[in-house]
């Protein structure tokens, strides 16, 4: 099989390409694409522990630790200890993050809309089914 036809190669290219679409729009906010996605996850689940964020974003825990480090450094989130379990933390969005919510979620919806509008609902369903079929058991 020719290299250009390799599915893994094509998916990797496409994934980087889509990430760039977000990146270009959120760079003015001082966020990277991965940080942006973590914030979107937190807008849905403010106060989640890192383990939950790792599960939700399907990133390893050391990766989440690093992301949270930089988000905390830049004042987007705050780690608070969990009184119920001293091993655990809970991650909370700061006032700054809530101030940017509308603007960031608008970018999120806008870019998702750019992708969605290229397909009919039936095509989307079929596409999603293809992705799901590839997801498991290698």
Partner DNA sequence: CAACATCTATTAGCATGCACACTATTTTTG
Partner DNA sequence: CAAAAATAGTGTGCATGCTAATAGATGTTG
The residues that touch its own copies, with contacts defined as CB under 8 A, are 1-4, 6-22, 24, 37, 40-41, 44, 56-58, 108-109, 111-112, 114-116, 118-119, 123, 126-128, 130-131, 133-135, 138
Q: What is the DSSP string of 92-137?
A: EE-HHHHHTHHHHHHHHHHHHHHHHTTS-HHHHHHHHHHHHHHHS-
User: 123 or 138: whose CB is closer to DNA?
Assistant: 138
Q: Does 26 bind DNA (CB under 7 A)?
A: no
62 makes contact with DNA (CB under 7 A): yes
Nearest to 22 by CA among 37, 38, 41, 4: 37
User: From CA 53, how far away is CA 61, in angstroms rounded?
Assistant: 9
Q: Which is nearer to its own copies, 73 or 138 (CB)?
A: 138
Q: Decide: is 80 part of the binding site for DNA (CB under 7 A).
A: no
Q: Is 107 exposed, middle or buried (0-12, 13-18, 19+ CB in 10 A)?
A: buried
- Between 88 and 101, CB nearer to DNA: 88
Which one of its own copies, DNA, none interacts with residue 40, CB within 5 to 8 A by kind? its own copies
């Amino acid at each position: 099989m020719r290299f250009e036809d390799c599915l893994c190669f094509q998916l990797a290219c496409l994934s980087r390409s889509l990430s760039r679409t977000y990146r270009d729009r959120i760079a003015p906010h001082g966020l990277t694409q991965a940080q942006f996605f973590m914030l979107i996850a937190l807008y849905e689940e403010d106060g989640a522990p890192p383990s939950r964020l790792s599960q939700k974003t399907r990133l390893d825990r050391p990766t989440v630790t690093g992301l949270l480090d930089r988000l905390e450094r830049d004042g987007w989130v705050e780690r608070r200890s969990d009184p119920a379990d001293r091993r655990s933390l809970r991650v909370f969005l700061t006032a700054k993050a809530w101030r940017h919510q509308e603007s960031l979620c608008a970018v999120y919806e806008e870019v998702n809309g750019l992708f969605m509008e290229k397909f009919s609902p039936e095509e989307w369903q079929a596409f999603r089914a293809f992705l799901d079929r590839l997801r498991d058991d290698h």
